[in-house]
Structure 1
Amino acid sequence: MGDKVLIKGSEAIGEAAIRANCKAFFGYPITPQTEVAAYMSKKMPKIGRIFIQAESEIAAINMVYGAAGSGVRCMTSSSSPGISLKSEGISYIAGAELPCVIINIVRGGPGLGSIQPAQSDYFQATKGGGHGDYRMPVFAPSSVQEMVDVLQDAFDVADTYRTPCMVMGDGMLGQMMEPVEFKERKQRKLPEKDWAANGLGGRKEHNIINSLYLSPEVLEQHNIHLQKKFKKIEEEEVRYETFNCDSECDLIMVAYGTTSRICRNVIKLAEKKGIKLGLIRPITLWPFPNEAFEKTVDKTKYGYLSVEMSCGQMVEDVRLSVNGKKPVYFYGRTGGMVPDPQGIFEKVESIIGGVK
C-alpha cells in the first residue's frame, strides 16, 4: 500500500511525476496550474533532479525537447494559452519521436479568457494543436486520484511509443483537494532508449535527434511510419469507463473529467423520475473510445447526450463513433461556467419528452 494524503490536484501532479521517476521539469507560471511548478521547484532540487523556470512557454517546451532527446523522463505543465505557445515545440517533439509528458490544466477561453475551469481545449489536444500529421495520446482524469494514476501511465505510454503524451484536466481538478493514495504500480516493460543522444555509449556513431526531412520522399516515409505507430496506439491504449449501461437506458450521457462527476448526480436525479440514464466516460480523449459506442448503441432508446464545459467540441467525436445509428445531442456551458445537475437533467427531459 502507498501513502494516503489530502492534497491539491496540481501538487498531486508534481508528486506523481516525481514518483514516476521524472528527472527534469521545465515550466512557466500561469493560473490555474502554477502550483505544479511551485511544487516541483521545492521538491526536485532536494532529490538531485532538475527544475528550471524557463523565460517563456516556448523556451520550456524546447528544453523538454532537449532533455527528452537525451533519454531522461521529463515533463512540462501549463494552461490553455501556454499550451498554444508550446504547440510548435510539441509538433517538433512528435516529429522527432521523443517521449515526454505535457500537463494542461484548462481555463476558459478563447484568448486570455478567464482562470475558471473549462474543457474548451479538446480540439487543440486531440486534433493536433501543432502543425503536421501527428497525434498525441491525451488522458482526461476525473479525480485527483485518477490524475495521479494516469500521469504515471502517461510516462510509460510516452516511453513505449516514443511520443509526447498529454494529461488534460480542467481548472477545478487542478485546484480541488482530495485524498490520494500513491500506490505501488506494476511496472510496464519499457523499451531501451538506444536512440537517445547521450554520448557514444559503445556505438560507432552518435545518435542524432531531428524532425527535419528536406526530401519529400523521405518525409513521406517518416509520416507513414508515424501513422503506423498512431494506429498501434489506437489499438492498444484506449481507456474508458461505462456506468449504468449494462441494460437498456433511456439515454446515455458522454462526459469526461469533472463534468463526468456531475453527470453521475444527474443519473441519481433521473432515477427519482423513473428515467434510466447511462454514462460513457472517456479516459483517453485520443485515442477516442469508439468501442464504447459500438457496445452500447443497441442499449439506448433515444441516443447519446454529450455534456461538456465547452461549446461542443467532443460532440463531433461522439457523432463519428455513433456513425448515424442513433441521435446525438449536446449540452454545454462555456467561458468557465460549470454545468449543474439540474440544467443537464432538464436537457435530458427535453430530449426524451421531445422524442416521445
Structure 2
Amino acid sequence: MKKKRVTSTDVARKAGVSQSAVSRTFSPWPTQSGVSAEIREKVLRAAKELGYQPNAIARSLITQRSRMVGVLFSYLDNPFYARALELLCHGLQARGYHALVFMMSNTLQDTDSTVSDILQYQVDGLLTASVELSSKICIECAERGIPVVMFNRTQDDPTLSAVTTDNVGGGRLAAKALLDAGCERIAILAGWDGASTSRDREFGFRAELNTRGIELFERANGNFNLEDTTQAVRRLFKDKLPAERPDALFVVNDYMAIRAMDVIRNEAGLRIPEDVSVVGFDDITTAAQPTYALTTVRQPINRMVEASLRMLFEQIEDPSAQPEHMMLGAQLVERGSVGSKFTS
C-alpha cells in the first residue's frame, strides 16, 4: 500500500504551530523567516518524526520563483569549462538556487530550440558559457524579465550582462611573448569562428603582430575540438622543411594547445621550444604539468564566476538592476614552451 505523503499541515498539527510557521521554517531564506528558535526546534522535531520533506514545486507556485537557473554549456571536455561549471553550481547552491544544466552544440538554431525548452521550466535566470545566443532568444528572455549573464562570452546587446577576460589584450600578450623571443614564422590556431573569445583573441594577436611589422605566417582552425585540432596541426607542421613550417604557434585555448603540443612532438618529430614555441590561453591545470610547461594567458576564473553570479543575483532580486559588462585583466604565465631565438 502506498504511503500517504506527509504535508506541512500534518507537521503543523503535530508541532502545535501554524502552517505558515512550518513554511517559514523551511524557507530558503532562513534569516528572513521570522521563526523563533523554540518554534523552529518544534517544527524540525515534528518533521523528522513524520518523515516530512518540503515540496519545492509547491513553494515555487506560492513565491513565483523556481529557485532554478538555466546553465548552458557547449562542451565540458575542456577543463576550463568543467571547472567553471563546478564553481557556478557551488555558488548557486550557496544562495539556495539550483542549476538546470543543458548541453548543446554551437549552432544558433539548436541553441534557440534548447533555450525555449529551458524557459518552460520558469527559470529565474540564465547563465551561458561557451554558448552564443541569438538576438531572438535575448529579446524573449528580456520580455519575460529573465536576466541573462554570459560567462566568457559577450555580445553587443545592452539587455545582457557579460563577464569576460580582456581577450583582445590577452591575444596581444601572447603575440608579444613570441615576438620578444625572436620568433618570425608565427601561426595561429583559432577556435570556432562564431565564438567571441576566439575572434577577440585572434584580433588582439594580429594587432600586436601588425604593430611590430610582422605578418601572420599561417592560420588554421581547431574549432575547439581535438580531432580538428589534430588535423590542423598536422597540416601546419608535418613533413615540412624548416622554412615552410611555423617556428611559433599561438593556440586560442589550452585545451587545443595541449593536443597541438602532442602532435608537434610525437607526429612531426619537433622539439618544444627549440623548434617550435607554443603559447596557449586559459591556464588550465594541465598547462602547469612538467610534461607541457605551457606558457599561457591566464583567465581569472574564480573572479569571473563570482562576478557572473553577483550580476545574476542582483538582477533576480531587483528587476530594475541594470545589466553590465565586466572585463577582467589577462595575465601572461611564462613557463617552458617558449624559447628565445636570440643568442648571447
Same fold (TM over 0.5): no
Computing the radius of gyration from Cα coordinates, the structure with the larger value is 2
Higher RCO (CA 8 Å, separation ≥ 6 residues)? 1
> Which TM-score applies when normalising by structure 1?
0.31
